[in-house]
Amino acid sequence: MSTLSMKFQSALYPKLRSLSIRPHRQEGHAYLLLRDPQQITDVNLLVPQPLASLLAYCDGAHAVAAMVAAYSRRTGVGVPIEGAEALMAALDEALLLENERFFAAQARTVAEYRDAPYRPAALAGLSYPDQAQALGQLLQGYLATVASSTPLPVDWSRPVGLLSPHIDYPRGGAVYAQVWKRATQIAQEAELVILLGTDHYGSAPFTLTRQHYATPYGVLPTATAIVDQLAAVIGEEAAFAGELRHRGEHSLELPAVWLHHMRAGQPCDLVPILCGGFHRFLHEGTTPDQDPTIGSVVETLQTVAKGRRTLIIASGDLAHVGPAFGGAPLNASSRVTLRAADDRLIAQMVQGDGEGFFEEIRQVQDANNVCGVAPIYLTMQTVGARRNEKIDGVGVRGYHTGYATCPADEQDTSVVTVGGVIFA
């Protein structure tokens, strides 16, 4: 028996952590690629098929022998117990199992993250320049391609909302520029920015951090007093359980960089919030407005926005379809259908109908994998975009500022769609 296998034997009922798991092919062989979204470990593990199928039984309720027996009963394929033990040992060594070794490493990592002066820009130097001058030239280049447009009138008596993409800049730069150029005055005058971003690797409704956010232009300070108010509503433990996902989550970082650019590097108070998906409502046949925690969070955001020029940013992309996302390859007909579905979503945003927006998602059970459902819905609710509701006799509406279909595979049979909207 290998040293790893012997080392692992103390863990009788291994439990896989919440990981990013994706199919992977290498040298003609099929694997599952396991990655840690909290980045407690930088080890990426390739698990070969059919051994990877054992992961379904790595749930904390099966010993290794029971995993092998259950898998064999289901598939009729035998797996050597030594191989299963070696797999569990490799998972343990990589800190991919939920056990004492992992919890100790997690505690150290959380302490290091919270003790740092700010959250570093994780993608600076990778997805965009890490120097302010070069970054400014890049973003100004995108803005220069946008024709001049009439600035929107800003009524700061209530929050203003904005939908920004969070796709990478090379693919989404034109739409970023369209929405942010139209929102120039809004970005410059805002005193408080609540940034709601898709949590790509977590399912918690809301995940907070008290850490400040850095960009190549400087530091955007997190409004910790507001974070504390939200944590009191959500529950301290639930609000920060997945805090480490803030370290690498691009959905907050990429729009924050644009915000900081449009403000010419001037800071403003920020409330960064990661938002889990709304799939539970689709499965349960309920709607988000029936959830008491969501209602309390929206009410809290509306309360803290009073008396301050408050911008709510929904960081979200639209559809994710095609083989890259587990669907059929796109053709001319399905592209037309996809655009029509996106147009219906955008129409609900333009009408200022948050419930209508979610109803469009519910009717098709989110068949197009819309990435920004939660941030968009929450932004519309917070600015007052509710069905048939008016504030001081005036309804909230959306101004559509851009749309693009971005390739997501080399064959151009998978795409991500993105759009921009300003809610005012």
CATH number, domain of 93, equals 3.90.930
Strand order in the sheet with 20-26: 20-26, 29-35, 45-48
Tell me the CB-side half-sphere exposure of residue 293, using CA atoms within 13 A: 14
DSSP-based three-state secondary structure for 34: strand
Would you say residue 114 lies in a domain? Answer: no
Q: Are residues 96 and 160 in the same domain?
A: no
Would you say residue 73 lies in a domain? Answer: yes
Q: How many domains does the chain have?
A: 2
Q: Are residues 193 and 73 in the same domain?
A: no
DSSP-based three-state secondary structure for 317: coil
List the one residue out of 219, 222, 195 whose CA is nearest residue 209: 222
Q: Are residues 192 and 297 in the same domain?
A: yes
Q: Are residues 236 and 105 in the same domain?
A: no
Would you say residue 129 lies in a domain? Answer: yes
Please, which residues have CB within 8 angstroms of residue 410's CB and are 6 or more apart in sequence? none
Q: Are residues 54 and 135 in the same domain?
A: no
Domain boundary among 77, 109, 141: 109
d(CA 304, CA 183): 22
Q: Are residues 104 and 190 in the same domain?
A: no
Domain boundary among 109, 131, 156: 109
Tell me the mean pLDDT per 10 residues along the chain, length 424. Answer: 43 87 87 90 89 88 91 82 90 94 95 97 97 98 88 86 98 97 95 97 94 98 98 97 94 98 98 96 91 96 95 98 94 96 96 93 95 96 66 70 95 96 93
d(CA 187, CA 220): 13
Report the CATH number at residue 167.
3.40.830.10
pLDDT at position 11, please? 59
Would you say residue 412 lies in a domain? Answer: yes
pTM over 0.95: no
Q: Are residues 131 and 105 in the same domain?
A: no
Would you say residue 115 lies in a domain? Answer: no
Give backbone dihedrals phi and psi of 395, rounded to 5 degrees, phi first: -90, 150
d(CA 357, CA 287): 11
CB 226, CB 409: distance < 8 Å: no
For 298, the domain range is: 120-423
Rounded (5°) CA angle 346-347-349: 65
Domain boundary among 109, 141, 163: 109
Q: Are residues 269 and 389 in the same domain?
A: yes
Please, which residues have CB within 8 angstroms of residue 101's CB and are 6 or more apart in sequence? 92, 95
DSSP symbol at 3: H
Q: Are residues 368 and 296 in the same domain?
A: yes
Q: Are residues 77 and 223 in the same domain?
A: no
pLDDT at position 52, please? 82
170 φψ region: left (φ > 0), alpha (ψ -120 to 50), beta (else): alpha
165 φψ region: left (φ > 0), alpha (ψ -120 to 50), beta (else): beta
Q: Are residues 203 and 62 in the same domain?
A: no
d(CA 5, CA 9): 7
Please, which residues have CB within 8 angstroms of residue 284's CB and are 6 or more apart in sequence? none
DSSP secondary structure of 227-281: HHHHHHHH-HHHHHTTGGGGGT-HHHHHHHHHHHHHTTT---EEEEEEE---HHH
Q: Are residues 303 and 336 in the same domain?
A: yes
